[in-house]
Structures are given as C-alpha cells and as structure tokens.
Structure 1
Amino acid sequence: MSSRYGSDPLAGDWRRPRAAEVATVPAELGLVVEDRETGWTGAVLRVEPIGGRQVVVLEDRHGRVRSFPLGPGFLIDGRPVVLTRANAATAAAGPVRSASGSRAVVGAKARVAAASRLFVEGTHDAELVEKVWGHDLRVEGVVVEVLHGVDDLAAALADFGPTRTARAGVLVDHLVPGSKESRIVAAASARFPDDTVLVVGHPYVDVWQAVRPQRVGLTAWPTISRDVEWKAGIAAALGLPHTTTEDLGLAWKQILGRVRTYADLEPAFSGRVEELIDFMTVPPPVRP
C-alpha cells in the first residue's frame, strides 16, 4: 500500500542535514564550533574513538571539556557543517571563518598570553566578546580582564602599567560625551601616553543592547522606566523571570545564546572591539 505522503520524514538519520545544504569541515585543532543541539561552543582539542565511534573533544572558554559524535550537528558562524577527521587531504580545504568574520587559524594552538590586556566593564561584556572574538584573542594571545565598574579603571591601569609593547585596551559601557563615565576615563587615561592605552566605548546603557533586538524577537529594545532596574525590565519585556539575580543571569544566557556572529551585534559595539584588538595586536611603529 503506497503512502500519499511519500517516505517517512523521520526515517533515517534526521539529525544529518542534506549534503547540498552543508559544508564538510575537517576538525582541525583549535577550530571553534558549536554543537547545534546543546549550544555548547568550544575549540577542537582532538578526535578520538570512544565506544566504537569517533568523537570530537571540545574545550570551552572556561576550560571545560565535552565530547560529541563526529559528523553532522555542528555550527560554524551559525551555519551547519559536518565535521570530519582531519588529514593531509582535508588540510587543503578552503578557509573557515570565525564568529568575528576573520579567517579561522585552524590547527594553531593558543599562544601564551601576550603582554597586552583587554579590559571590559562587566562579566556579560567579557562573555559576549569571548563568544564572538574568542578565536581571534586566543590566536593573538590576548587575555580579557573584567572591570567591575568604570570606577576601577584608574587603579587597574596603574596596577597593569601599560607600555608600548604591553598595551591596555579598554571597552566602557555608555561612554557618551559629558557623562560621568567620560570624565573618569579622561582622568584615568591621561596619565599614560596615547600609544600605550586606548579607551573606547559604546553608547548602550548595558551590553545587552549591543545585541540586535531582532535576535530576541523584538523590533527594538524597549524603554525602561527609571524606577525599574534596567535588566529586570528587559527580562520582563522578553517574558522571562526577572525577580532575582539568578533570573537575570539566565535571561542574559538566553540573549547570549542567540548571538552567532558579529552580524548579530550592533556596529557601534563590534566596531569598537575590532578597534581595540587592532590596537593591541598591531606592532607599534619604530620611533626614529
């Protein structure tokens, strides 16, 4: 008896995308991928046999390690790929792009931390920078350090002691002319030569706004009343729990989970991060 609907759409390996829709990518050491099913993102450590099948071992930015079956079910820059065991033949495959849009340096180990440091204002800022630019930062050996408020900037810079070969890049929230933040930044950075410290900022009240609102189902980020804590107001607008610190942390995880590449961020944020990375990684000019 024939079926009017053809073959069962759930028959076979439903997790495997059609070959015409995906690229096959060798699981080279250092390649950053995301498991499509769980959202786990990490760099490839190795491919090894476990329980009679090949698995790829990924390490996330916290140093945690998980294994996933080698094959379909992965994303690179939000696009589905099929991971295969790397070999000499596949090493000649075309370039892979990282989430920042740069060419991924596959097979390269992270460098020992360089002298320069990228300071960001808050844990959420650090997590967003790491998710999109983590590959670039690992390749360059730049470490992200968290400032728990711009008031800590002067002490952090004094403790670090930036030089022309050990530069400090600083990303500040809500850095607009005439603000308290702008006055603190000016005073803190004035103590150091321009070629040792670069402070840039974005105009957003919080780094949550650096994510394009369309990624979380909004046409624009809502205006929150001044008598309501901003993050709590945003979480409420998204229909998420918002009464405790833990609620707000989970709300941020939901937002961060929607970010795939730099294209999901506002240019006023992503452009400033790129500017800082260039400042810290381009060798200083030779003085006459």
Structure 2
Amino acid sequence: MRSYSPDLTPPWKRPGRQAVPEVPAEPDLVVEEVATGYCGAVIGCEAGTVTLEDRFGKRRVFPLAPRGFLLEGSVVTLVRPARSPAAPARTASGSVAVPGTRARVARAGRIYVEGRHDAELVERVWGDDLRIEGVVVEYLEGVDDLPAVVAEFAPGPDARLGVLVDHLVPGSKESRIAASVTGPDVLVVGHPYIDVWAAVKPSSLGIGAWPAVPRGQDWKTGVCRALGWPERTGAAWQHILSRVHSYRDLEPALLGRVEELIDFVTAPPGDGNG
C-alpha cells in the first residue's frame, strides 16, 4: 500500500518551495484562485483583497495570499498595483490648480464685459485664474458706454484694458464702437452670440439647441417662452449658470476670447498687441 504524507498542503504552498513571480492585480487580468478553482477577471483590488468576476458576472472576493493564484497555469502571487501619480488638480478653466496660492494684489489692468451675466459666467469658469493673476473683471451695463469708460480708464502699457463684447460681428453697432476705441493698450474681442446665454452649450442644459427668437422680440424672454420656462429671465439665468461647471460647458468661440483677454492684460509691458 502506498504511503501518503499527512501534509495536505499543495506543493506550491509548502516551505522551501521555489519562489514565484509577483503579478500586479491589474483590471481585466484573468486568474484562477488555487484553493477553490474559481476563475475570473480582476475588477478591483483593495488593501489585502482582490475581487474577481467570472464569465457569468458573479463576483467573489479573495485575500491576496502568497502563491494564491494561477495565471495561465503557473502559480503567482497577486499584489496590489502601484498607484499611478495623481493627475494635477485643475481649475474650472482647465488650468493647473495651485493649492494654497494667495490672490495677487489687483493689477492696474482690467477686463470689462458687457453685463452682469457675462461677469458671472467669467467668474464661474476663470475666477481662480483671475485671482491668481490679480485681474479684476467689471461690467459696462451695455456697449454704448464703452468709449466713455475707455477715456476715463486711460489705458497704458502698465494698465491694459481688455473688453469682451457680445455679438461682435462685421457691420454691427458693436463692431463700430469696438473699432473706435481699439489701440495698443486696449483689446476689444467678442463672440458671435446675441447674448452670453448662448455661449453655454445646449447639451449642458439638456436641450437640443438654443431656440430661434423672432426679430423684434426680447431674446431672453423669447428663449424662456420657447423652452417652456417661466418668463423670469433672472431665474432662468441662475438655472443656466448652475449647469456650468467648467470650460467644457462653454462654446469654443467664448473660451478663446476670454483666454486672449487674460493673456493681453497680464502680459509684461511691450508684449501686447500694439
């Protein structure tokens, strides 16, 4: 009669056994747990355990025991994967965040936008960047006041003025006013939308597109009416603004112009567009 050893430990778990490779338990790695024969793909790995999912979608959790798994028929020790370096935090504008940085003392230069909604949208997305750069954003209450504002501001190389104008298209009233004030220390740029509301992507609001509003009708009121919103434009704007979380919620035609203004106002003297 054959004599059997009382040691029922599998050979690969016995003392003095040959060393086996350590394999990171990366997602989708298919292994077999030696004690149960359970075969599945790695879907998670926490401290000391690994979760496997079999081809039927059933999941089980196993300890990361030495020599505890088979990989393509060979014994391995699963280990927790090394953590990848965390991606740098980003501001809402997409810039790399600088934790703990204090706001810079306000520059002499300024950025002006047409109205309060424009200012709130710029603050929503670029506020962190503007505070680090020390750039103050103010609003005009209408582009008609722009020549007087520029004259009073008296821009110079150390105090540049950037202006964002709604509906800046060739032949418009806005384009004529912009041309009258543009100079080496004044940069006027604009987006093509009749109102800054439309610079928010419709998809961010869950609508297919911004509605067409008949000429002669107040655009914001017409938008509320067409979308079935209460005709309270202030409340509508707060709803729109609440759906803006980062630059991804804005149209490129606005993004590029604001970035251009920030670069212009913060450039060292002699590096402007003039």
2:253 maps to what in 1?
268
Q: Does 1:187 align with 2:180?
A: yes
Which runs of no fewer than 5 residues in structure 2 stay unpaired?
1-43, 45-84
Greater shift, 269-278 or 220-229, is seen at: 220-229
Which structure: larger Rg? 2
Shift of 1:94: 5.0
SS in 2 for 1:250: helix
1:42 maps to what in 2?
none
User: What per-residue deviation string (whole Å, max 9, x for no partner) do you get for residues 49-82 of structure 1?
Assistant: xxxxxxxxxxxxxxxxxxxxxxxxxxxxxxxxxx
2:157–2:270 Cα contact (<8 Å) kept: no
User: What per-residue deviation string (whole Å, max 9, x for no partner) do you get for residues 133-175 of structure 1?
Assistant: 0000000010001011111101111111111111000000000
Q: One-letter code of the match for 1:228?
A: Q
SS in 1 for 2:237: helix
Choose the corresponding residue for 1:202, options 182, 187, 191: 191
CA RMSD of aligned residues (A): 1.8
Number of aligned residue pairs: give it.
189
- Aligned partners of 1:149, 1:222: CA distance in 2, in Å? 23
1:165 maps to what in 2?
158
SS in 2 for 1:114: coil
User: What per-residue deviation string (whole Å, max 9, x for no partner) do you get for residues 185-204 of structure 1?
Assistant: 11122xxx42x111000000
Choose the corresponding residue for 1:149, options 142, 148, 169: 142
Shift of 1:285: 3.2
Choose the corresponding residue for 2:204, options 215, 228, 233: 215
SS in 2 for 1:130: helix
2:162–2:187 Cα contact (<8 Å) kept: yes
Shift of 1:93: 6.5
Query: Would you identify which runs of 4 or more consecutive aligned residues in structure 1 move more than 4 Å?
Result: none
Instruction: Trace 1:1-288 onto structure 2 (pairs within 5 A).
Output: 94-189=87-182, 193-194=183-184, 196-242=185-231, 247-285=232-270
- Aligned partners of 2:104, 2:271: CA distance in 1, in Å? 24
Percent identity for Structure 1 against Structure 2: 62
- Aligned partners of 1:162, 1:95: CA distance in 2, in Å? 36
1:25 maps to what in 2?
none
User: What per-residue deviation string (whole Å, max 9, x for no partner) do you get for residues 80-103 of structure 1?
Assistant: xxxxxxxxxxxx965210000001
2:63 maps to what in 1?
none
TM-score by length of 2: 0.66
User: What per-residue deviation string (whole Å, max 9, x for no partner) do you get for residues 20-48 of structure 1?
Assistant: 9xxxxxxxxxxxxxxxxxxxxxxxxxxxx
User: What per-residue deviation string (whole Å, max 9, x for no partner) do you get for residues 90-137 of structure 1?
Assistant: xx9652100000011210111111111000000000000000000000
- Aligned partners of 2:90, 2:116: CA distance in 1, in Å? 26
| Change beyond 3 A, Cα 1:286–1:130 | closer
